[in-house]
Amino acid sequence: MKVHEYQAKEILRRYGVATPQGHVTDSPEEARQITKDLGGKSVVKAQIHAGGRGKGGGVKLAKTPDEAFEHAQKIIGMQLVTHQTGPEGRKVKKVLVEAAADIAQELYLGITLDRAIGKPVLMASKFGGMEIEEVAHKDPTAILKEPFDAIAGLQPFQARKVAYALGLTGETHKKAVPFLLALAKAYVETDCSLAEINPLMITGQGDVVALDAKMNFDDNALFRHLDIKEYRDLDEEDPLEVEASKFNLNYIKLDGNVGCMVNGAGLAMSTMDIIQYAGGSPANFLDVGGGANEEQVRNAMRIILSDPNVKGVLINIFGGIMRCDIIASGVVKAVKEIGCTIPVVVRLEGTNVEEGKQILRDSGLAVIPADGMKDAAEKIIAAVAKGGN
């Protein structure tokens, strides 16, 4: 789960991470008042779940309270397009109004899980304020990586090492060490999958402050962070994925035109691979799960078909725990209910496969049967190319 910058900063402050002073608002009038209270100057920042807001026109400096009003009026309600939002952009509902910073230096900090070594890793770079992917591409040695133990936490000697590597000395170094320790503690204790400070600002006075903050959380751990779960903003998520999550379906929307209904994550991934291999492109990942009932299958089918890009559906089921007849009845009900006019290819194997095939035959629907995955992928791609049933 992702949260907004202002929410990430709220969480980080609880752990002692320094952030600029400020408040979030959905009113330009209030943006003016907040700026007055901050001493007359501020930065007005669009709150969306995507980076690159600065370049996209979502971060504006205000030299007076009236300017803050004008910026807020322009930003709130705008469809903000950044390199992370896709061409359609995201609608801005709120802005964070913060005290304008006196930036001497912009650095980069990030913590994420290194799955290869099974540990969180603190990443730091002198090149802050820009896209870290670009830095990594141009000069991988410009990013320092310091893995640490999740149970013991980031150790003070590690924080000192990273602070030196960032070129921080004297009082600034002394402030950077507790900052790094607090960030690492926040990452571990809130079950983050990513905590990123870009830029980490060194002020003219040598203070160390999180100018931006991004935190993503492990969905499987949210049950123990109900306060963080409250921060979920459904408007920032894909509507079809939100709908799928209501039925406990593992659905992820993709850009292709072949909808996929599969049981098991591994089979779902190989189905996407084989669609690509056959020259097509999957519209989604969907694992209906091992113990799905007819109702879930019906909803899964409805969700797949409500994606306007979908021009054909491949149903690939291996009945182990899941029974083929349940899948078949769910599909038939959904298709009858929605009135599907695009081709549907079905590959069924395993438990109750004959019953499943019989249900499909008896339904009178024009489903195309397939033998094996390769055959199924080739048939759906040919059918999509031809168009219609």
The residues in 271-290 that bind ligand GDP, with binding defined as CB under 6 A, are: none
Interaction between residue 236 and ligand GDP (CB under 6 A): no
Element (H, E) at 57: none
100 binds, among Mn ion, ligand GDP, none (CB under 5 to 8 A by kind): ligand GDP
- The type of residue at 139 is D
CB atoms within 10 A of CB 119: 12
- What is the rounded CA–CA span in Å between residue 339 and residue 272? 25
Nearer to ligand GDP, 47 or 296 (CB): 47
What is the total count of residues that contact Mn ion (CB under 5 A)?
2
Q: Which residue shows structure tokens 């993709």?
A: 254
307 binds, among Mn ion, ligand GDP, none (CB under 5 to 8 A by kind): none
Q: Which of 105, 125, 158, 198 binds Mn ion (CB under 5 A)?
A: 198
Interaction between residue 129 and ligand GDP (CB under 6 A): yes
Interaction between residue 71 and ligand GDP (CB under 6 A): no
Interaction between residue 43 and ligand GDP (CB under 6 A): yes
- Quick one: tokens of 215? 């935190």
Stretch that binds Mn ion, among 135-143, 206-214, 268-276, 312-320 (CB under 5 A): 206-214
Q: Closest separation between CB of residue 13 and ligand GDP, Å?
A: 16
Catalytic residue among 108, 187, 231, 251: 108
DSSP characters over 149-173: -TTT-S-HHHHHHHHHHTT--HHHH
Nearer to ligand GDP, 107 or 324 (CB): 107
CB proximity list for 104: less than 8 A, separation 6 or greater: 201, 202, 203, 204, 206
Q: How many helices (H) and strands (E) does the chain have?
A: 14, 18
- What is the rounded CA–CA span in Å between residue 336 and residue 145? 55
Interaction between residue 40 and ligand GDP (CB under 6 A): no
Q: DSSP state, 306?
A: T
Nearest-5° Cα angle at 99, 40 to 52: 125
The residues in 191-210 that bind ligand GDP, with binding defined as CB under 6 A, are: 198-199
Q: Which residue shows structure tokens 């950044």?
A: 82
The residues in 99-118 that bind ligand GDP, with binding defined as CB under 6 A, are: 100-101, 103, 106
Which residues are tagged catalytic? 108, 196
Binding interface with ligand GDP (CB under 6 A): 43, 45, 51-54, 59, 61, 100-101, 103, 106, 129, 198-199, 211-212
